[in-house]
Amino acid sequence: MANSPWSHTRSSSLSDDVDFEIKGQELQFVEIELDPGESAVAEAGAMVWKDASIDMTTVFGDGSADQGGGFMGKLLGAGKRLVTGESLFTTVFTHRGSGKARVSFAAPIPGSILPIKLDEVGGRLICQKDAFLCAARGVSIGIHFQQRIMTGLFGGEGFIMQKLEGDGWVFVQMGGTVIERELRAGEELHVDTGCVAAFQPSVEFDVVRAGSVKSMIFGGEGVFFARLRGPGKVWIQSLPFSRLAGRMLAAAGSTGGQNRGEGSLLGSLGNLIDGD
């Protein structure tokens, strides 16, 4: 596969060690190359295209080998996904032919697809509940609850998160521009709760009050910040999907469904002409 800013050639691992290439700028997709018998697992509806020799099977849960336990084990795995707001099902794409075959998956929002090799971050990654896009077969997708009472009450989007475990490649979708920070032991970072995209389990996640009462009421930045304390890596997204959706809904409501131009004189005059 051709080289790109995000491309990979294989090494040894317990998970299927797929080759991949990420293409595009603001609206990215990842193209995964499979050898015979290799599989990729993805969220339902994420596929863009695939070669004909790749079979597509819908399964309960994440389709990982760790799920086990027969039907009840699979049902439990699917239930965990439901808690995070995801579908009960994932789709497994397996190369049944010879030679190389490719399948691609696209992120649903403008932003970045970040490839992370789990064995390079300690075998586990905590991320926003809608971050998972696809992975090599063998990666387990679970849930992560924040333990502190204050975080549970005021953590917002950071209360229930996804937990990705294994040693293989996982591809997470993040909104807008992504910043990676390596925090030293004891170093703190304050982030809008929705902008916390992912972090290593060694990073302590908590919430803190956003300044004075005046700042909390009139600052427009929310009442609480997420406090991330090192050591470990954190990934921050500039445009979480919830913020994008909220502003789109607010803009649609403010125009009453009419396209008169934001902030223009025509918008006000149009209301008078229509009798609004």
Q: Which pLDDT does position 109 carry in this prediction? A: 81
Q: Which residues pair with 93 in a beta bridge?
A: 40, 56
Q: Which pLDDT does position 270 carry in this prediction? A: 46
- Out of 3.90.1170.50, 3.50.50.60, 3.50.30.50, 3.60.160.10, select the CATH number for domain 19-250: 3.60.160.10
- Alpha-carbon span 174 to 133, nearest angstrom: 10
Burial call 223-238: b when 16+ CB within 10 Å, e when fewer: ebbbebbbebbbbbbb
Q: Which pLDDT does position 67 carry in this prediction? A: 47
Residue-range domain boundaries for the chain: 19-250
pLDDT in tens, 68-123: 444 445 545 544 555 555 556 789 999 999 999 999 999 888 889 999 999 999 99
Mean predicted confidence (pLDDT) in 50-62: 87
pTM here is 0.74
Single-letter amino acid code for the residue at 236? I
Q: Which pLDDT does position 6 carry in this prediction? A: 55
Q: Side-chain half-sphere of 117: how many Cα atoms within 13 Å?
A: 16
pLDDT in tens, 154-211: 445 556 788 999 999 999 999 988 999 999 999 999 998 889 999 999 999 888 877 6
Does residue 262 have a pLDDT over 50?
Answer: no
Helix H, strand E, coil C: the string for 201-238 is CCCEEEEEECCCHHHHHHCCCCCEEEEEECCEEEEEEC
